[in-house]
Amino acid sequence: MSVFDKIYALADQVEKGSTTELDDRARACRGTKEMLKDTKALLESVRVQLSEGWHGGAGEAALNSLDAFKKNRDDQAQDLEESAKSFETIRDALAKARQDARSKRADAQDLQKKLDHGWHGFGIRQVDLAVAWAQDKAVKAQALVLLADLERVTTTYDAILLIEGQKLRFRTGQVWELAGSEKRNLAEIGAIMLREIPGLAALVAKNPELRNALLHGEWDKLMQNPEVAQKIYDYLGFKYNKEGDFYTTGEHSMQSYMGWRDLYDKLGRVLGMKLDETGTDGDNMEFTDPQTGKTYRLELWKGKYGNQAFGGEVGFYTSDSPNNNGHFNAAQGDDQIKVTQTIYNKENGEVYYTNDGQGADGTDKKHFWNLAIRTDPDVNPEQLGQRATIEVRDVEMRDRMYNEMTRYAAAHPDDHLTVTKGSDHPPTLSYDWQK
Amino acid sequence: MGFEVDVADISNAAAKLGEGKPPTLSAEGSPNVGSTARAGSFAGDYDVWLATRKDDLDAAQQQVESLVESIQTAAKSYHGTDSEARDAFLKALDSSFERIDR
């Protein structure tokens, strides 16, 4: 490749960039910033209304929360403003680099013409040869200077891309610190986990192997350490049931968990969760009460929770209407169900453990979620079966649930789900899921 | 009597919040920053940024939904005839708001 080819190729690298696209990104940031201001104003109006009814004592925490939510919006808006500035900095750097590249390209084209001209008509006299040779060397030297200049232009531009790119990359979420964790590199997630999960840093500091595993995102290795597994389960809101040797979850810790649904899903993936679940093809077990329009969804999970643990879950959710775009809430009040879930080995029938409603508030054992996970690396998740008895508030609801589960089972023969009706007093049904 | 009006006002403000347009980010894939040595890595930085912003906006929306739901649930269970109702209502908001991530 000649020196001129190199100059043109280098100029191409910046000339092809689009300042318009960078402008668009900055504009998008500012558009979102305006929307955040609107949400903040709506939050403020809730705060004002609430403060009118508050006269000290109760309500103070709610007002503080609303202030915190407003601050979240300010932080997000500020974040987007800074992001917009990064895009504009890159846009300006690109515009400058493009301008410089165009000018160097024009200079190079002139030089190249000179070079061609210098050799034109060569071959008649000795002296022509000498002049042409001298001109050739002079022009090529100038071209090398141009190339060096252009290299400086692209290196400077690259430095801006590096600095602003890093600024953009290292912005964490403002409402949710682990936002973007699927795309973040594993060491970044590790650093955030160290900061977020109480006691994990001290544990990891004592053990260089664990630190190494965390920095390299070797979640399986981390979860093999029972103390680390305990801390992570605690963080996700799980409670240990000593009697049955399994983790379950309380109703209220799960309220906060619900907000962390995405975190759970994402951490679930990095922690090596591999679960069978109902509804993966979009066909969920859902039924509607024709009197009220209230719609119910039952979901089942079972399988591997990291390399160290196995178990299952039964979740029950409600929505005020069937037209809910898939948005359900955790069942509350008398919609809650009483579940006795057993995790067993479907090949030899061995029962591993049973959660008879642990984790529920009070003594009624009614919950929206029956979860039971045991840490034991030697159990093969492929062999897991789940069976459960579900008690609901009345026979009508039981029958609707039974009909829906039967429909689902017939539509998904690979799930190997069998459902049987139990007693009417109390209204129960049982199922066995051997997927 | 006075507090019943307050509950209705709080509930209305929450409904307006619930009807508000959730902030979204219209930015798409990585902008064309040319093809210099650093351009590829910048695209990676951008992808992380975009995914993080979108997830964070989703989390903010979840926050709003939980907030609206908490108020509406508390408002539904408010019985103005009960002399303790005002405190019970405010306490319900105290505890449920605290469970919302921020």
Return the sign of the alpha-carbon dihedral for residues A218, A220, A224, A229: positive
Which residues from B are below 8 Å from A261, CB to CB? 62
Contact A61 B39 (CB under 8 A): no
Per-residue pLDDT of chain A (435 residues; tens, 9 = 90+): 789 999 999 999 999 999 999 999 999 999 999 999 999 999 999 999 999 888 777 788 889 889 999 999 999 999 999 999 999 999 999 999 999 999 999 999 999 888 777 666 555 566 667 777 777 788 888 999 999 999 999 999 999 999 999 999 888 888 877 777 767 766 666 777 777 777 888 888 888 888 888 777 676 677 678 788 777 777 666 777 778 887 777 665 443 344 334 445 555 555 566 788 888 788 999 999 999 999 999 999 899 876 667 889 898 888 887 877 666 777 888 999 999 999 999 999 999 999 988 877 677 888 877 888 887 778 888 899 999 999 999 999 999 999 999 999 999 999 999 999 999 999 999 999 999
A48 to chain B, any CB pair closer than 8 A? The answer is yes
Which residues from B are below 8 Å from A36, CB to CB? 23, 60
Q: Let me know: does A168 contact A83? Beta carbons within 8 Å.
A: yes
A259 closest CB neighbour out of B20, B93, B100: B100
| Other CB atoms within 10 Å distance of the CB of residue A394 | 12
The structure tokens listed for A64 are 């503080």
Q: What is the ipTM of this complex?
A: 0.93
What span, in angstroms and rounded, lies between the C-alpha atoms of A415 and A283? 13
What span, in angstroms and rounded, lies between the C-alpha atoms of A260 and A256? 7
pTM of the model: 0.64
Contact B20 A12 (CB under 8 A): no
A169 closest CB neighbour out of B49, B90, B93: B49
B51 closest CB neighbour out of A65, A162, A180: A180
Which residues from A are below 8 Å from B99, CB to CB? 252, 255-256, 259
Rg (C-alpha) for chain A, rounded Å, is 32
B59 to chain A, any CB pair closer than 8 A? The answer is yes
Which residues from B are below 8 Å from A16, CB to CB? 32, 34-35
B3 closest CB neighbour out of A53, A161, A162: A53
B90 to chain A, any CB pair closer than 8 A? The answer is yes
Q: Let me know: does A321 contact A373? Beta carbons within 8 Å.
A: no
